[in-house]
Amino acid sequence: MASIPEQLSGSLGAAFEAVGLPRELGLVAESDRPDLAPYQCNGAMAAAKIAKKAPRAVAEQVAAEFQAREPDVAIEIAGPGFLNLTPSATVYAQRANAIAADPRTGAARVEMPRTVMIDFGGPNVAKPMHVGHLRSSVIGDSLQRLFRFRGDRVISDIHLGDWGYQMGLLVTELEDEQPGLAYFDESFTGPYPDAPPVTIDDLSRLYPQAAAKAKEDEERAARARKATAELQAGRPGYRALLQHFINVSIAALKADFDALGVHFDLWKGESDVNDLVPEVVELFKEKGIAEESEGALIVRVAEEGEKKELAPLILVSRQGSALYATTDLATILDRRRTYDPDLILYVVDLGQSDHFEQVFRAAVKAGLAQEGGLEHIKFGTVNGPDGKRLRTRAGGTFRLADLIGEAYGRAKARLDEAGLGAELSEAEHDRVARLVANAAIKFADLQNFRTTNYIFELDRFVSFEGKTGPYLLYQAVRVKSIMRKAADQGLEPGPILAGTPEEQALIRRLDGFEAALARACDLRAPNHLCDHAFSLAQAFSAFYAACPILPEENEAVRASRLALAETVLKQLELNLALIGLEAPEKM
Rounded-to-integer distance, Cα 464 and Cα 459, Å: 10
**Binding-site member from 65, 70, 119, 514 for ligand ARG (CB under 6 A):** 119
In the chain the first and final C-alpha atoms are separated, in Å, by 36
3-state secondary structure of 161: strand
- From the CB of 173, what's the least distance to ligand ARG, in Å? 20
Q: Which is nearer to ligand ARG, 65 or 119 (CB)?
A: 119
Q: Which is nearer to ligand ARG, 272 or 511 (CB)?
A: 272
Cα within 13 Å of Cα(480), Cβ side: 14
Residue 159 as a binder of ligand ARG (CB under 6 A): the answer is yes
Query: Mask of contacts with ligand ARG, 281-310, x by CB under 6 A?
Result: ------------------------------
- From the CB of 137, what's the least distance to ligand ARG, in Å? 11
Sheet holding 29-30, edge to edge: 29-30, 39-41, 82-87, 73-78
Q: Which is nearer to ligand ARG, 124 or 249 (CB)?
A: 124
- From the CB of 135, what's the least distance to ligand ARG, in Å? 12
Residue 124 as a binder of ligand ARG (CB under 6 A): the answer is yes
Residue 328 as a binder of ligand ARG (CB under 6 A): the answer is yes
Of the candidates 73, 64, 76, the one whose C-alpha atom is nearest the C-alpha of residue 33 is: 76
Of the candidates 441, 451, 444, 452, the one whose C-alpha atom is nearest the C-alpha of residue 402 is: 441
Residue 346 as a binder of ligand ARG (CB under 6 A): the answer is yes
Residue 415 phi, psi (nearest 5): -60, -45
Chain CA centroid to CA 473, Å:
19
Q: Which is nearer to ligand ARG, 363 or 533 (CB)?
A: 363
Residue 161 as a binder of ligand ARG (CB under 6 A): the answer is yes
Rounded-to-integer distance, Cα 58 and Cα 434, Å: 58
- From the CB of 348, what's the least distance to ligand ARG, in Å? 5
Piece in contact with ligand ARG (CB under 6 A), picked from 91-99, 118-126, 180-188, 276-284: 118-126
Yes or no: say if 532 and 513 are a contact pair by the CB < 8 Å rule: yes
Q: Which residues pair with 377 in a beta bridge?
A: 347
Rounded-to-integer distance, Cα 49 and Cα 583, Å: 52
Yes or no: say if 75 and 84 are a contact pair by the CB < 8 Å rule: yes
170: left (phi over 0), alpha (psi -120 to 50) or beta: alpha
What letter does residue 445 receive in the DSSP assignment?
Answer: H
Piece in contact with ligand ARG (CB under 6 A), picked from 98-106, 119-127, 303-311, 370-378: 119-127
Q: Which is nearer to ligand ARG, 162 or 503 (CB)?
A: 162
- From the CB of 122, what's the least distance to ligand ARG, in Å? 3
Residue 348 as a binder of ligand ARG (CB under 6 A): the answer is yes
Residue 163 as a binder of ligand ARG (CB under 6 A): the answer is no
- From the CB of 341, what's the least distance to ligand ARG, in Å? 13
- From the CB of 563, what's the least distance to ligand ARG, in Å? 46
Nearest-5° angle of CA 188, CA 192, CA 193? 145
Residue 122 as a binder of ligand ARG (CB under 6 A): the answer is yes
Residue closest to ligand ARG, measured at CB: 122
For ligand ARG, the binding residues (CB under 6 A) are 119, 122, 124, 159, 161, 328, 346, 348
